[in-house]
Structure 1
Amino acid sequence: MKKKGRQSLSEPINVLVLDQHASSEKIKSVPYGLLLYWRRLILAFICLSVFLIVAVLFFASHNYFLLKSSERLQSELKEAREYPKQMETVQSKMQELEGKMEKVNTYLSKRGIERVTAEGGQGGLSEELTGDNIEEVLDQYNFYADSLHRDLSNVPLGYPIQGPLTSVFGIRSNPFSKRGIEAHGGVDIKAKRGAVVKAPAQGKVLFAGWKGGYGRCVVIEHDKGFETLYGHLSAIQVKPHQMIDAGHIIGKVGSTGRSTGPHLHYEITRHGKKINPGLFLKDH
């Protein structure tokens, strides 16, 4: 028996061709080599199609990544261009805040009170400031600085006149008889006759005239329920219902009324109750 070998490329192969529109079947002879060529051609086409699909997907995703990167870069460039303008605004607000705090410190210094500083121990939780919130924070601090100065200007801080205290608030011995004790509703500040007396806070003059043992006297109404009284004046330089600012000259030192010599009798009341003026004075 002859051993069966490999099929020859030229050897024909019968191919059954079916046609749904034809009533009969057709048989065609096709060389084996041609069928093999077609198979390889089809496989190559499939591989090429798969490669093209993968390539298209790769480049599409790469282009999407490049597009997003470009958008992010454009956004960063826009922020970079706006940053100098933002910093100018921040710098302006910082200077505004520094000016207001300097105004507060100047006001306190004139009344013998130490400046507000950041020296010494500090601590507490902190929050990082960014361009998104630093302007808002500075606006809040500027508002607080305005409120602080407004509140301070309505509180009677510091001395209405410079000089040593000759009598403090509370119980004291009788300065006339030197016997027994009496309640003293304010402090006595020694000064030369005719020295000017200044209001320590802004307010409205409630009384300006003679007031019994106080002699020539001025009473000023301030915000937050405060009232101040200045007694034994030699001269009065304000009128009732007059609005005055802190530092306004209201009169001159004298010894009118129940007094042993030139000095200023100074009282502070809040909501009708006398309080120690020493709490609002700063020793020099």
Structure 2
Amino acid sequence: MLKNKSSVRIISADGTSDKNLLVPTVLLKHWKKICISTLSFIFILCGSIIYFATSKKEHDITSKYEATLDEVRAMNRQLSWDQSESERDIHQVRQSFNKIDSTIERINAKMKKRGLKTIALQNAGGPIEADEENIELLSEFYAGALKDLDRKLSGIPIGIPHPGKITSRFGYRRNPFTNRGREMHSGIDLKGRTGDPVKVTASGKVVFAGYEGAYGYVVKVNHPNGFETRYAHLSKTNVRKGQNIEVGKVIGLLGNTGRSTGSHLHYEILHHDKKVNPEKYFNF
């Protein structure tokens, strides 16, 4: 088909020259179809290029979006984990400080039994100025320190066994029976009414409970760290020898037995078998 050719004469614009161009006859006959086909092909080719380019861009954007979404999800999971860890840490700290608060309450209860004002730690349960690694150690330290304080306080005769007025202090005094001469008063006298309760000022073990000469009815209690307390002139004893008792227990009733001029409590403190002034132990 291409062997059959037709002559195409090309004339310049001024008409002075012309050229003959041989082209296949089939192209002249079907030039419209060829042009349409060529344009269609070019259009399809451009469309395909645009489609594939757009698809690739969309795929890249989708991939980036999914990757970003995965990172956000991972961050959310990490934040949730960190929050859970933080909540557990806070819970543990609260438990530790609850132990401290419980110990303080026990100490305060014992101070009340001694007739003393309660005590408190400054800023207890307040903001924790420590890093997370030391919070548990800090809590354990305070809990242990308070337990040790509680144990020591329980065995030291602090406070008063009876809230009566002091009628005779520790030291030398005039003989209350003859009103002559001077004698050593080895304890302190607290005025009261017969039958008033008398409380032990520290935890310990009863080493004597009964009647003993000038003491009348008396209770003697041994405590840790070399302390001993004595409660004399009682009308009745409520404990027995060998009994372990806690601070604040009523060990007897106030009376006027033995060498006594009236209803009162004679209270003594001994430290390593040496009698000391009980009034020094009335305040914490």
When normalised by structure 1's length, the TM-score is 0.67
Equivalent residues of 1:198, 1:248 under 8 A apart: yes
Unmatched segments (≥5 aa) in structure 1 = 1-69, 121-126
Q: Where does residue 164 of structure 1 map in the other structure? A: 165
Distance 1:84 1:198 in 2: 46
Q: After the TM superposition, which of the residue ranges 242-251 and 165-174 deviates more from structure 2? A: 242-251
Equivalent residues of 2:115, 2:163 under 8 A apart: no
Distance 1:195 1:157 in 2: 20
Q: After the TM superposition, which of the residue ranges 266-275 and 86-95 deviates more from structure 2? A: 86-95
SS at match of 1:132: helix
Q: Where does residue 226 of structure 1 map in the other structure? A: 227
Equivalent residues of 2:222, 2:229 under 8 A apart: yes
- Per-residue CA deviations over 1:160-206 (Å, capped at 9, x if unaligned) read 11200100011111111111111110000111011121111111110
Q: After the TM superposition, which of the residue ranges 250-259 and 97-106 deviates more from structure 2? A: 97-106
Q: Where does residue 242 of structure 2 map in the other structure? A: 241
Distance 2:241 2:157 in 1: 19
Structure 1 runs, 4 residues or longer, greater than 3 Å off: 73-81, 117-120
- Per-residue CA deviations over 1:9-63 (Å, capped at 9, x if unaligned) read xxxxxxxxxxxxxxxxxxxxxxxxxxxxxxxxxxxxxxxxxxxxxxxxxxxxxxx
CA drift of 1:248 comes to: 1.6
Equivalent residues of 2:115, 2:159 under 8 A apart: yes
Q: Where does residue 100 of structure 1 map in the other structure? A: 103
When normalised by structure 2's length, the TM-score is 0.67
Distance 2:77 2:241 in 1: 65
Equivalent residues of 1:188, 1:264 under 8 A apart: yes
- Per-residue CA deviations over 1:78-103 (Å, capped at 9, x if unaligned) read 54441111111111111221221122
Distance 1:76 1:186 in 2: 69
Q: Where does residue 209 of structure 1 map in the other structure? A: 210
In our comparison, the structure showing a higher alpha carbon Rg is 2
Distance 2:265 2:78 in 1: 67
Unmatched segments (≥5 aa) in structure 2 = 1-71
Equivalent residues of 1:219, 1:227 under 8 A apart: yes
Fraction of identical pairs, as percent: 40
The residue identity in structure 2 corresponding to 1:85 is R
| Number of residue pairs matched by the alignment | 208
